[in-house]
Structure 1
Amino acid sequence: MKLHNQVVLVTGGARGLGREIVKAFAEEGAKVVINYYQSKEKALELKEEIGSNAVAIQADIRDRQQVQEMFVEAKHFFDHPITTVINNALVGFRFDPISKKDATDIIWEDYLLQLEGAVRGSLNTTQAALPDMKEAKYGRIITIGTNLFQNPVVPYHDYNTSKAALLGFTRSMAKELGECGITVNMVSGGLLKTTDASSATSDEVFQLIEASTPLQKVTTPTDVANAVLFFASPWGNGVTGQNLVVDGGLVMD
């Protein structure tokens, strides 16, 4: 299915990487559902910027009922079911290498918060999408990972672990849903310059990444959004269960 025929849900779509993904799909003519949890003002501003091809819907992705209601509302608004799900939302986390918890201080509740945002949220959106995707024999599910679980330069224990678990979720879903015409893939960016979540990162850290990267640049949200478009586009029809690392070559898998 060409991008301009798709109805795309972007969780956490009001700011940061999610905002860039929303804009990238909108520029291709897709209809976009901007999911937000607390960023109502930013979501509505983005919706107004895009126009009639966008709708902003509040839902906590960790809440199964709220997610189900969001899918119903989106289908009613566009008179077409969601075809493409981008699991991007990041719950309660900032990339702050100075104040992060170390191996002694981290507690299970920290892990649980990130696991619920990454894995539980993706489970809720996937299960809400499945009836219409199976009926259409078509669907695109894309999760947002990180290069840090392959090379934990900064040991964000809770975040890195949740994204590693999300890759397992991605590949298991890809295995089962392929026969239904549904692809499931992951896009893993490096530390992005700059989003709300990475705003606590110092210039020195960004300079170190730039110097260590073959492309001699820090990855931008636009770089990652473009990779997401690939998996959603007809060019990605033959790809499922993959993790595409978009970090300028810093991590080579």
Structure 2
Amino acid sequence: MTGATGRVALVTGASSGIGAATARLLAARGMRVVVNYLRSVAAADEVVAGIEAAGGQAMAVQADVREAAAVESMVEQVQATWGGIDVLVHNALIPFAIKPFQDMSWDELGGKLDGEMRAAFAVTKAVLPAMTGQGWGRVIYISTGLSRQPREGLIALGTAKAALVQFARYVAQELGPTGITVNIVEAGPVEDTRIVNALGEEHRQQQVAATPLGRLASPGDVAQAVAFYAGEDNAFMTGTTAAVNGGMSMY
């Protein structure tokens, strides 16, 4: 198969934000896109309708990605319609507490870690049989710069995403011989997200001032990096991290 046409991409948490932008972009590039959502059925249907109106193919499938049985059921539903999943974009945001460590319970910190890794484990396990069977696959995990750079009140998110990033590297190493690439897109602050909104306008302006490109990322900025990693042409990058942060952090 040449080009992206016909490839099936599963985007978790795709009813809004980065996930929705990614679903639209992958569909515009010829992929058939599975728009996964947890509760926002109307928003997911709207993403699908927009993709179809633009001439693409998409389907919305509900699943809590923390639940292995729900993920397996979703993948079976996709297989029955379109066959195996070629591209996994794991974007779904597992809920987390925003508070200082001293005010945090183990259930809040440990629960975020557990939910983050359960979801990554479940979705990765579910898509691997089809990918390994054909000797081709693309796996992209959405992370955050908070996995490297601490920010007040965000220890649960940053710690969980750091675990996700290291998990991704191990998976990349193991799956390389099978023809599957595994990469991370590390987003800086993104406009109209829970974190940016929760921290307030003053904090947002401080982040803009600290960004050489002079603005925060849009969901579309992050989607562009995901689409690169998902493409046929990206054949020799695996275990890498693309930092989409406008130069706020440079590694």
Name the TM-score class by shorter chain. Answer: over 0.9
What is the alpha-carbon distance in structure 2 between the residues aligned to residue 7 and residue 126 of structure 1? 15
- What is residue 28 of structure 1 aligned with on the other side? 29
- What is residue 222 of structure 1 aligned with on the other side? 220
Paired positions, count:
247
What is the alpha-carbon distance in structure 2 between the residues aligned to residue 203 and residue 235 of structure 1? 40
Percent identity, aligned pairs only, is 36
What is the alpha-carbon distance in structure 2 between the residues aligned to residue 93 and residue 18 of structure 1? 18
- What is residue 127 of structure 1 aligned with on the other side? 125
The one-letter amino acid paired with 1:86 is V
The one-letter amino acid paired with 2:126 is A
What is the alpha-carbon distance in structure 2 between the residues aligned to residue 214 and residue 235 of structure 1? 29
Cα displacement (A) at 1:58: 0.6
- What is residue 171 of structure 2 aligned with on the other side? 173
The one-letter amino acid paired with 2:247 is G
1:66-215 alignment to 2 at 5 Å? 66-78=70-82, 80-93=83-96, 100-196=98-194, 198-215=196-213
What is the alpha-carbon distance in structure 2 between the residues aligned to residue 2 and residue 205 of structure 1? 42
Q: State the Cα deviation string for residues 206-244 of structure 1 (Å, max 9, x = none).
A: 211111111111111111100001111123210000111
TM-score (norm. length: structure 2): 0.93
What is the alpha-carbon distance in structure 1 between the residues aligned to residue 22 and residue 114 of structure 2? 22
The one-letter amino acid paired with 1:219 is A
RMSD of aligned C-alpha atoms? 1.5
What is the alpha-carbon distance in structure 2 between the residues aligned to residue 149 and residue 32 of structure 1? 28
Tell me whether 81-90 or 144-153 shows the greater mean CA deviation.
Answer: 144-153
- What is residue 39 of structure 1 aligned with on the other side? 40
The one-letter amino acid paired with 1:30 is M
- Paired residues of 1:16 and 1:197 also in contact (CA < 8 A): no
What is the alpha-carbon distance in structure 2 between the residues aligned to residue 3 and residue 188 of structure 1? 23
What is the alpha-carbon distance in structure 1 between the residues aligned to residue 195 and residue 11 of structure 2? 17
Unpaired runs of 5+ residues, structure 2, are: none
> CA separation of 1:113/1:212 partners in 2, compared to 1, >3 Å: closer, same or farther?
same
Cα displacement (A) at 1:64: 0.6
1:231 is aligned to 2:229: yes
Tell me whether 203-212 or 1-10 shows the greater mean CA deviation.
Answer: 1-10
Match of 1:29, SS?
coil
What is the alpha-carbon distance in structure 1 between the residues aligned to residue 4 and residue 187 of structure 2? 22
- What is residue 64 of structure 2 aligned with on the other side? 60
- What is residue 18 of structure 2 aligned with on the other side? 17
Match of 2:198, SS?
coil
1:236-247 alignment to 2 at 5 Å? 236-247=234-245
Cα displacement (A) at 1:197: 5.1
Match of 1:89, SS?
coil
The one-letter amino acid paired with 1:82 is I
Cα displacement (A) at 1:198: 3.5
The one-letter amino acid paired with 2:173 is K
Unpaired runs of 5+ residues, structure 1, are: 95-99
